[in-house]
Amino acid sequence: MKLSDKELKHLTSLAKIKLANDELNKFQKQVSDILTFVDELKKMDVTGADKISQMSGEVNNWRLDKKYEASGKQKKRIHDAAPETKDGFLKVPGIFSDL
Amino acid sequence: MELAHLTLHEARQGLARKEFSSFELTQSFLKRINKYNSDINSYLSVYSKEALKQAKEFDDADVIKTNPLAGLPLAIKDNILIEGGIVTAGSKILENYQASFTATAVKRLKECGAIILGKTNLDEFAMGSSTENSAFGVTKNPWDTKKVPGGTSGGSASAVTADLCLSAIGSDTGGSIRQPASFCGCVGYKPTYGIVSRYGLIAMASSFDQIGPLAKTVKDAALLIDCMAGHDTYDSTTTTKNLENFVDGIAKFKPSGMTIGMPKEYFSKDLDSQVAELIQDEVLALESQGIKVKEVSLPLTKYNLPVYYIIMPSEVSSNLGRYDGIRYGFSDRSGKTLESVYINTKSNGFGQEVKRRILIGTYSLSSGYYEAYYGRAQKARNLIKKEFEDVFKEVDLLITPTAPGPAFDIGAKTASSVDMYMQDIFTVSANVAGLPALSLPVGLVNGLPVGLQIIGPRFADLPVLGLANILEQQIAFSRLEYV
């Protein structure tokens, strides 16, 4: 099945990925080919089947309702991994403001 | 025999008998890595100083170390976190990311005394079948450096095969341990989903991912699983079952009374006839030992790949949402808005195959398509799982090929994603149904190794390892001596 230009644009907008102009055609074909491949599943009879959402078979493996604090060393690693920091905080772009 | 060519068990014995020190053993690997890694590109990072320090600590200890992996050097795939170490997932988006915690599987290996030599190369975010999708260069197959090592655990498989470590750890979502093991001529094992904790494994597709060993022998693989397996409070999908000791279990394992199934759909025109012949010869030999063999049918086999390539990208599109340049990793803040940070970071940070799979997943989960794609695939997955459960009422284990043929040339399958996906045709089913599966070298085709795969029902890890151990002795495959 061939993905239309509009559909590809919709997908990239949802996924928050921008494709370069010279990549658009290539991706459109490649993604279309993959969708054609998976469309084989339309031929399978799934009448009466339940959906399966997890594979472990485990149910509600809870942990204790207790506070776990990261160590000072871990907190420092998390801080140091951030793209921008200020005064010990992670600095992030404002949601409604321009940068 | 060079120290580096020893198996995990032989090295363990050698250390116990003081035939050599852990320092000498570790040094022999570091020397080989120094000499060969620029040719093969198995390792992305090497922990020389730290590894030698740990080796020396082992040697200097007064107490005899009885830890099962004490003083023994291993390699870890670079999508598994080790605190303080860089973990790239084979991607530019994590090129400089330092892990803030250690994966449970690695924590347990270290508690067993293992020494970590370094991190091995992989396809970006474990997406691929050849290690060609790594942002840090392709890994070469030690049997023929014009060929791929398989993927996504190509770094780990090539490191084991070229004696750049005693054993390695990888991850398997659609065949990523087993297929490179097949291409590189080593043992690759994906345990039952839920046996090994995924905490600290960079998530790709959470209902398929499993950590597992790549090793020179089945017994080595069993030892590594013994060290890593079991419930983890940090991963609620791990099993709460008590697990037996696999090394002890395979020593006592008797296959008499077993019935092996050969699913006819796995011996189709998609399979190289020379691989089929090698497998059939071994199965005949098993029969002469009194093991019953019968042909079985799994009619839903042709739907495994479509189910996988709908559900897996859906989970990927969700899991990779975190790489948005906000808390860690590559961040492109050159734009004026928050949204531009997300878009620029992902667009410039992710490679092509990652983007393709995110787009497929986005499509499958999007409004108007959700039920027709993801919803349908969830039902299909359930039916596939049940089909396996039914076949395991007729037979105890299945024997199939691991891959459609031996390793292909670097660059041969990069033009078409679907061509590459077809490499997983025989491995993906075990991930779709959450089953244990192991690949074992069965022989050479055109001078390149190929694997035989054993698949079992859920939690039949011991019989899978047990039969593999017996087959390994029967096959007597000659390991590569890489120079």
DSSP string, B298-326: -GGGGGHHHHHHHHHHHHHHHHGGG-SSS
B459 touches chain A (CB under 8 A): no
Site from A9, A31, A44 to mutate, B interface, most B CB atoms within 10 angstroms: A44
The C-alpha of A65 sits at a distance from chain B's nearest C-alpha, in angstroms, of: 12
Nearest to A16 among B101, B342, B360 (CB): B342
Site from B81, B339, B355, B414 to mutate, A interface, most A CB atoms within 10 angstroms: B355
B368 touches chain A (CB under 8 A): no
Letter string b/e over residues B323-356, b meaning 16 or more CB atoms within 10 A of that residue's CB: bbbbebbbbbbebeebebbbbbbbbebbbbbbbb
Q: How confident is the model at residue B1 (pLDDT cuts 50, 70, 90)?
A: low
Average pLDDT over residues B387-411: 98
| Among A63-72, B226-235, B454-463, the least confident range | A63-72
Q: Rounded to whole angstroms, how far apart are CA atoms A10 and A26?
A: 16
Cα B72 to Cα B21, B109, B187, B430: the distances in Å are: 10, 10, 18, 30
ipTM of predicted complex: 0.95
One-letter identity of residue B320: L
* pTM score, whole prediction: 0.97
A90 touches chain B (CB under 8 A): yes
Q: Are the Cβ atoms of B347 and A18 closer than 8 angstroms? A: yes
Q: Rounded to whole angstroms, how far apart are CA atoms B296 and B391?
A: 7
One-letter identity of residue B268: S
Percent of chain B at pLDDT exceeding 90: 96
How confident is the model at residue A64, as a pLDDT?
86
Q: How confident is the model at residue A98 (pLDDT cuts 50, 70, 90)?
A: low
**pLDDT at residue A95 greater than cutoff 80:** yes
CA atoms B410, B40, B98, B78: torsion sign: positive
Cα B360 to Cα A4, A38, B19, B306: the distances in Å are: 14, 10, 55, 12
Return the residue matching tokens 């969708």: A35
**pLDDT at residue B252 greater than cutoff 80:** yes
Helix ranges restricted to H, B204-243 = 218-228
Residue B377: strand, helix, or coil = helix
**B190 close to B210: Cβ distance less than 8 angstroms:** yes
Q: How confident is the model at residue B24 (pLDDT cuts 50, 70, 90)?
A: very high
Q: In this structure, which long-range contacts are made by residues B281-287, counting pairs with CB atoms below 8 Å and at least 24 apart in sequence?
A: B282/B442, B282/B452, B282/B471, B282/B474, B282/B475, B283/B399, B285/B474, B286/B255, B286/B260, B286/B470, B286/B471, B286/B474
pLDDT mean across residues, chain A? 92
The first and second tokens of residue A34, run together, are 């993959």
Q: Rounded to whole angstroms, how far apart are CA atoms B454 and B213?
A: 15
**pLDDT at residue B341 greater than cutoff 80:** yes
In terms of Cα–Cα distance, which of B266, B258, B251, B345 is closest to B298? Answer: B266
Return the residue matching tokens 């492109």: B332
One-letter identity of residue B188: G
Surface of A (42-61) touching B: CB under 8 A: 42, 44, 46, 49-58, 61
The first and second tokens of residue A27, run together, are 């991706």
Between the two ends of chain A, the Cα-to-Cα distance in Å is 41
Surface of A (65-84) touching B: CB under 8 A: 70, 74, 77-78, 80-84
**pLDDT at residue A99 greater than cutoff 60:** no
Q: How confident is the model at residue A60 (pLDDT cuts 50, 70, 90)?
A: confident
In terms of Cα–Cα distance, which of B400, B430, B102, B116 is closest to B264? Answer: B400
